[in-house]
Amino acid sequence: MNIRLGRLLGIPVSVDISWFVIFALIVFTLAQYYFPQFYPGLSPVMNWFAGLVAALLLFASVLLHELMHSVVARRNNIDIGGITLFIFGGVSRLREEPSTPASELKMALAGPATSFALALVFWLAMVIGGTAIFGPVGLAILQYLAGINVMLAVFNMLPGFPLDGGRVFRAILWGTLNDLDRATRYASWVGQGLGYLFMVLGFTMMLFGNFVSGLWLVFIGWFLSNTAQQSYQQVVLRRALSGVGVGSIMTQEFPHINPEMPLDEFVHDYLLRYDHSAFPIIDGEDLIGIVTVSEVRDVPREQWHTTTVRQVARPPEEERKIDEYDDAFDALMQMAGGHTRRLLVMHDGKLKGMVTEDSIINIVRRKLQLGI
**Cβ-count burial of 8 within 10 angstroms (0-12 exposed, 13-18 middle, 19+ buried)?**
middle
List beta partners, residue 15: 3, 85
Q: Can you give the pLDDT at residue 203?
A: 95
Stretch (H or E) spanning 290? strand 286-291
Give 299's Cβ-side CA count (13 Å radius). Answer: 22
Cβ atoms of residues 342 and 360 within 8 Å: no
Distance CA 264, CA 280 (A): 17
Number of Cβ atoms within 10 Å of the Cβ of 320: 14
**Cβ-count burial of 239 within 10 angstroms (0-12 exposed, 13-18 middle, 19+ buried)?**
middle
In eight-state DSSP terms, residue 346 is E
DSSP string across 181-237: HHHHHHHHHHHHHHHHHHHHHHHHHHHTT-HHHHHHHHHHHHHHHHHHHHHHHHHHH
pLDDT, tens digit, for every residue of 204-256? 999 998 887 888 899 889 989 998 998 888 888 888 887 888 888 898 888 88
State the Cα torsion 203-204-207-211 to the nearest 10°: -60
Q: Amino acid letter at 88?
A: F
b/e 161-184 (16+ beta carbons within 10 angstroms → b): bbbbbbbbbbbbbbeeeeebeebb
Rounded to the nearest angstrom, the gap between the alpha carbon of residue 198 and the centroid of all alpha carbons in its chain is 22
Q: What is each CA distance from 300 to 107, 304, 343, in whole angstroms?
A: 56, 7, 28
Q: Residue ranges of the domains in the chain?
A: 2-240, 246-370
pLDDT, tens digit, for every residue of 263-313? 999 999 988 888 887 888 888 778 888 898 889 999 999 999 999 999 999
Q: Is 318 a catalytic residue?
A: no
List beta partners, residue 85: 15, 90
Stretch (H or E) spanning 93? strand 89-94
**Cβ-count burial of 84 within 10 angstroms (0-12 exposed, 13-18 middle, 19+ buried)?**
buried
Active-site residue, from 66, 295, 319, 324? 66
Distance CA 81, CA 71 (A): 12
Mean pLDDT for the chain? 88
Q: Can you give the pLDDT at residue 144?
A: 93
SS3 state of residue 11: strand
pLDDT, tens digit, for every residue of 82-128? 888 887 778 888 877 888 999 999 999 999 999 999 999 999 998 88
Is 0.85 topped by the overall pTM?
Answer: no
pLDDT, average across residues 61-77? 93
Listed residue (260, 314, 251) closest to 287, CA to CA = 314
pLDDT, average across residues 45-58? 94
Instruction: Note the CATH architecture for domain 246-370.
Output: Roll (3.10)
pLDDT, tens digit, for every residue of 161-173? 889 999 999 999 9
State the Cα torsion 163-166-167-168 to the nearest 10°: 120
Question: Residue 162, preceding bond cis, omega within 30 degrees?
Answer: yes
